[in-house]
Amino acid sequence: MKDQLKVGITYNLKRKMGSDLEAEYDDEKTITILAETIKNFGCDVILLEANETIIDTIKNKPDIVFNIAEGIQGRGREAEIPGFLNILQIPYTGSDETSLCLSLDKHLTKVIVQSVGIRTPKHQLFHKVDEKLVEDIRFPVILKPNQEGSSKGIFDACTADNDADLYPLLQRLLSQYQQPVLVEEFLTGREFTIGLLQEGDHIIVLPPMEIVYKKHFGKYDVYSYEVKKNYKECVEYHCPPQLTQAERDEMEKAAKEIFVLFDCKDMARIDFRCDAEGKLNFIELNPLPGLSKGYSDLPYAAERMGISFEALIRRILRNALLRNHIDYHI
């Protein structure tokens, strides 16, 4: 067993406040708290900002990396650091580059999930503004940049009730984000997110968390970038929510199946929404969920299960050590 485990933290630092340009990145407080938490496990911590400087800073080779980096650009950006670490043969927490690439592409994720019979809203991927909406997709619809996270590109006015609403919004998103836009039927039912943790061969499903809106910005309730920034005044989180045992079993079963299908590692968060009839639909998979103490959904749900932030980080790191056959007790 090593005398002291050397843990690198890979991250992207938020510097441009006020817009959604760096919505997925973490602020200094998040990184500082994560570093102090891992230090308290008796580990030596190395901060590794995930930009061009990492080529030099990684030379002080860590035993394992705690990865929260979102990457710099492109459809496969979340895979940049895992791929780089694979080349250097440095183990890391969380899912590998393939899982991260697949899940960041919202359309591709839905195609894969549908292939195993899990319900998801009808959807269409638009590459150009002059494409026509297929006839079996019914209004209202919601529009999202296809390869973004943290509600980036999802504004309060991101829904359309007809073609007159749809195409100006489609033009705006195509132009602003320079990527395909996912258009899917907007579901008006209840909204949930559910966290999962891996412990060896077991997958632990945390209590579902329901997003309940208390401030309404438009005709439809959307968990937009603005709502997330002002969550204290806009929403309440019910964890656990009022669900029948059958409803909870269905959600947990679907979440586990998706986790396994994408070969997620250590942790993930999965979003669901119900249609007007109460039928559960998969919305998105996030194998690289936010870990901001007191803010992010996964730590919040874990705390409601009696797992403190420190215990959550310990579980994630411990499982990664186990997976990579690193003999070190934390």
- Check whether 306 has a pLDDT greater than 70: yes
pLDDT of residue 21: 63
Task: Tell me the per-residue pLDDT of 213-229, one tens digit each, with 9 for 90 and over.
Answer: 987 777 888 887 777 77
pLDDT of residue 18: 55
pLDDT of residue 85: 97
> 248 exposed, middle or buried (CB, 10 Å; 0-12, 13-18, 19+)?
middle
Task: Tell me the per-residue pLDDT of 88-137, one tens digit each, with 9 for 90 and over.
Answer: 999 999 999 999 999 999 999 999 999 999 999 999 999 999 999 999 99
Is the separation of the CB atoms in 209 and 194 below 8 Å? yes
Q: Which two tokens stand for residue 120?
A: 């998801």
Write down the pTM of the prediction.
0.94
Q: What angle do CA 237, 243, 245 make, to 5 degrees?
A: 140
State in words which class domain 6-94 has: alpha beta
Residues 65 and 78: their CA atoms lie apart, in Å, by: 15
Domain segments of the chain as ranges: 6-94, 102-119+187-317, 123-185
H-helix or E-strand containing 194? Answer: strand 191-199
CATH superfamily of 102-119+187-317: ATP-grasp fold, B domain (3.30.470.20)
- Check whether 252 has a pLDDT greater than 60: yes
Q: Which two tokens stand for residue 76?
A: 């496969």
pLDDT of residue 74: 87
Res. 1 pLDDT band, cuts 50 70 90:
low
Task: Tell me the per-residue pLDDT of 162-190, one tens digit each, with 9 for 90 and over.
Answer: 999 999 999 999 999 899 999 999 999 99
What is the per-residue DSSP string for 120-165?
---EEEESSTTPPPPTTPPSSEEEEETT--TTTT--TT-EESSHHH
Question: What dotted CATH number matches 123-185?
Answer: 3.30.1490
Residue 217 vs residue 307, higher pLDDT: 307
